[in-house]
Structure 1
Amino acid sequence: MASLTVTAKGQITLRRELLNHLGVRPGEQIELDRLPGGELRLKAVRPTGSIGGFIGRHAGKAARPLSIEEMNRIAAAGWAGEE
């Protein structure tokens, strides 16, 4: 079990190994749930995408209409968090 030290400001720092276990990268968020007995449950907040964001990201970037295969590759990359 990992132990953390609380700073004078009430802050903690999670070690890289814990962040990697959660799959959290810089700029992403972590959610805490309060449990009985003074325990907390920590989990990564997974970003949600929308079709509007997907379409807006690619609007005007193609000089020609895309094939279904190209659209599928773009959609897979978008849902995987790749740019």
Structure 2
Amino acid sequence: MTALTITAKGQITLRRELLQFLGIAPGQHVEVHKLANGVLALQAVAPQGLEAFAGCLPPPNKALSVEEMNTVIAKGWAGQE
């Protein structure tokens, strides 16, 4: 069991190991469910909409200028690539 300290503001900080166990990433929202006998349950809120899609692709190998992007787009529309 892990003991946590309550701050003067009534806040707690979950240790990294607990966040990893719950599958919660920085910036992600959580739901707190009140159970019987003073027990709380935390659950990660699944991202929805564009937030769920963002970051699913790997970063590009190199950044392109606007002119380079326009060239690639034009070639794609022309069926050249």
Identity of aligned residues (%): 53
Provide the residue aligned with 1:80 in structure 2.
Answer: none
Letter in 2 for 1:17: E
TM-score (norm. length: structure 1): 0.58
Distance, in Å, in 2 between the alignment partners of 1:10 and 1:43 is 20
Distance, in Å, in 1 between the alignment partners of 2:45 and 2:11 is 19
Q: Equivalences for 1:2-81 in 2 at 5 Å?
A: 2-49=2-49, 63=73, 64=76
Q: Identify, as 1 or 2, the structure richer in helix.
A: 1
- Number of residues of Structure 1 aligned to a counterpart in Structure 2: 57
Provide the residue aligned with 1:58 in structure 2.
Answer: none
Gaps of 5+ in 1: 55-60, 66-83
Provide runs of 4+ in structure 1 moved above 6 Å.
none
3-state SS of 2:7 partner: coil
CA RMSD in angstroms, aligned pairs only: 2.4
Deviations 1:26-70 (A, max 9, x none): 1111110011111111111110236xx96xxxxxx97236xxxxx
Gaps of 5+ in 2: 54-69
